Structure formats: C-alpha cells, structure tokens
Amino acid sequence: MTRGRRPINAIDEAVEIAARRGSVEQVTGKRACAFDLIIIGPDRNVFVKVRRSRAPFTYALEVMNSYQREIASLHQVPLTSGTAREFWVRSPKGTWQFCLVKKDSVLEIRADGLDIPFESLPVTTVDLSGTPADDTDNPISPSENGK
C-alpha cells in the first residue's frame, strides 16, 4: 500500500473504466476526500475511491486489510437505494480489482459492476437477441391470457 501522492495515473485510468458505466464526475480535492469519482448511472450514483498498490491482491479480504482507512472513509457516503460505494485498486502491472463496499462487508466485483448481487445494486437487463417479443416469450399461460 502506498501512502504517497495521489494516484493521478490510476485515477485517469479509472475515469476511462468508469465512463463505460455512465457519466463520470471526477472529484478534485485533498487526500482526505472520501471518494475520487462519481459514476452517474440511470439507477444509481456510485462513489468510487481509487488507490494503487505495490503488489497484486488475491482476495477482497486482503484489500480490506490493507486499505482499512480508505474503505472506512467511504462509509462517510450514506448507502441509500440511489447510491453505492466502490473501492478500486490498481496493481503495478496495471491490473484492476474492484470491490463493492457494503454496510458490513466488502465484495469483489467486475469492472462493469454486473456481478453485484441484486439486493445490492439492481441490474437492468436488455434482450440482446434482436428478435421481437412474441407469445413464446410471455410468461403468462394462454389460459390466463384469454386465448
């Protein structure tokens, strides 16, 4: 864990990653700021703290132990149905680890946030098949449908 200057290069890379999930607002401030980015999505605003590490981590528990102070600072952001808190760590080789900071735990997620459990962050799904919906897609049985 580094306690030096702000991770400017890591934050720049994080902005690119976050832009895939929605509109991004970079928070410029002092080191004591609880978060570095806000991802503004259609369902939620995600507050993100970005850090760099000297070594890659294997588990979210290692991230939680190494960055206790930073993760604790994210708890300044209240959890509501419209907010989420994430902690992103960049290793020296450029690989990223993403963690969802819940009320009482830290959960490792993917960069796109889709591995977040439904109760933590509702995920909207899209039919990518390109076919229009028909009666076979309808979960209502024909007897309930009036046919």
pLDDT tens digits for range 105-122: 888 888 877 654 545 444
> Where in the chain are the domains?
8-145
Nearest to 100 by CA among 124, 119, 125, 126: 119
Residue 134 has pLDDT above 70, yes or no: no
Residue 4 has pLDDT above 70, yes or no: no
Q: How many CB atoms lie within 10 A of CB 97?
A: 20
- CATH number at 8-145: 3.40.1350
State how far the Cα of 49 lies from the Cα of 51, in Å rounded to an integer.
7
pLDDT band for position 138 (50/70/90)? very low
- For the chain, what is the mean pLDDT? 77
pTM tops 0.75, yes or no: no
